[in-house]
Structure 1
């Protein structure tokens, strides 16, 4: 190690990383990096072995973020992770690393390096590692929810969730709120469902029926028969949670999915003992898609699309949008944001609108375009005008300005037909004239999606403030989508599919559904050759020559 007045921690970490490759952690390696390891070990208060593992975790964390990658880099087979489980456990307990774990046991998947540690090391500063504080009530609930998410994503086995429930049952026995409720009479599923409902309310800051009954039950029960039997048990009011008035079900449902919240009695106990004020919002407007009920999805975009989408999302965030509206009005401009998403089918136009709504906390008034094309002449124009009248009334009622979504709007923003050619043409032209007029006076947020951008009527171009094209994913984005939809794919396999098959996200969904059906119905693991054959069959053009499988 070079003799420097102030050793550069990053260079030290790089040196340890480079020399540790394929070293198998043998004695000659430790002799070569003795000074570097000693410095970093003293700084972090770790053993030399823990220091080497941590240094590699920092470098490799920018690439794969997998514990196995560290073991492989050192030259070992993946199973050797078992030999170093205790060392990694210390790194997690001391919060040098954070990631997927349950009761201290490391799940050999993804990890991340503590932001505190990165900041100190990047700034070449020494740091103190504080002893881990005793977890409070809410911290325990949060950790429990993280375990639920891991089990739901099949990252952890259900047995670890059951262990966690048993642990919390004993730990919560002395908590006042649970003493009044008497959780000892709860089955494992009852306690699981109740704690999930409690955390969902606390996390959301309200008791507005945040817990999806179907998804929560399916996380706990892997058998389809058990899932639906217990879902019916809850919905029919036979569960102890319902019978003892601990959990309440929403009177409304979204897409036939029922949601649960805490009962008024439990809500009062949470306020009494934990000082948290939860309240139910007024019944949501049934004409709107509620943003809380939208499933959160990770979407992958091509680079130029990502810039546009994230910029739009920032614009319609509440604080930004209110500021824009005020400034627009001051300058005599229309206080509205109107956006056209255009591109091939299956490229994520509608889902992008949904995810922006979810991220910004805005509900959606979705318009079925076919409903505006009445068979009775003159009725369609009235329906179009009513859409905007209804939206304006809802906008004034809602706390946040909702999004008006014209989905698959090709029929009403396409090029106008020649006047007098037919009564249908006259009706469609009349609808477009009303739409143009309403857009001119529109206040709020409007999203529209279309597959036929080349057919867009010129009169609509200036009505849309933003026009964002979503294309089929390029190689990098496509590779990430493949891996997100079929996790068993290696990076190399995902890249191969991305290069050969120019699919939209929707087409990839089709493949993923077929693979899932094979797994669920026939217990078949998704072999790459099978995935490839499904990709080939997805093409309409059977005569199109495809690159042969292989690397």
Structure 2
């Protein structure tokens, strides 16, 4: 490299700067600046027209300014439309990595009008150090997650009114073309979606990756459309189901009571597609009030009669890691359903739900707990979708668990009881439809499903064969109640435990209430309870029953 390179390049840039000022970019300017434009174009490896833009941006940057079309138009004193002839050159220089681009703070809905340019710092350093033109390129995107994040950031610029929709779509198309080698992009391109739908899908993927199962449609619209009318039409189309992502079973609408609350989420089909193309959405287990991890469960000693305990021991053994895997392999090999389905039924307070928790604790399994009341929707057909979604979500969650989790339908009386006449009410129709879906799901279920109910005698016969284990929880006998009292309150003498067991016909849950009051008593008074305190607590536990006959109209 000659020692005069630095001076030659800087001199040529300076000459171009001086000669182009107020030149209107006429023919005379290009004739007089021909030699300087050639030198700059040779150094940067660009065309003479591009060399002009490079020289101007370089010089104006050193005045402390970023450069946009307006700056150059005013400097050249040329027709603004003249600068549009160079629009492709600006984009080329940006793609070559010679320019970096930032968004202008003054917003105009015109292509190129909002872009400001600066020279890549590596280039200025090379010139000042008298070095050859360095190898520069736009910063490459390393993986699909990084690409989706960058696309999401573009939507944030639209939302913040820093970018117009047409610019968003231009950038999205360019970035997807540049990164078409990623398997997920290839797969999405096969659908031949519009740019809007492609961006919508990628937007939802990013939101899902970050733990947002559903996103408000209005929020999405603000990140895509600059125009209010376009946003409204977009939302209306989705609510009406008029969208390719919906018809291709990649996106579903989540129920809402009001227009503004409408949400969308990826379908199970979309989650599978994404998983197959390199994105593990459930790499970290979803934290929610419906997910109970085994480490969060407190160990409790549950006491049952011999027959109940024998059945529970069988269930515990079945769900131990080694036995569970062997059982599923054996059943599948013999063409039998491989899912373990369990019905725990009996009186309230007899330990059904706590049994599930202790089972999960012992076997190291997570619990996905379903609130049946929240599965019923005011909207026709939505309850069925919610139930279907519960099973698909369980299946997706299972894929990334070391051990198969437990799907728990707690207090499932309403949806496993005998089906009603469909003509009686809308509620009956909804419950019957939900039951049909659950029956269908359990037919091919491959995981661990447990339902608890207080009303087993009202169980629909269609459910009987769906449950592999059916364990009844009876009110504890005197001997068992005495053991429970002693286990909960070891300070009691055996005869005191026997007396409480015979005097009060309590379930295990009711005994727990007494124990809790005993703990509160000790906190407040600083001393443990005595037997008289316990008798008082027991009597107040029975208060509702004592007064039950006094409610309503008295008989004469």
TM-score, length-normalised on structure 2? 0.46
Length-normalised TM-score, structure 1: 0.47
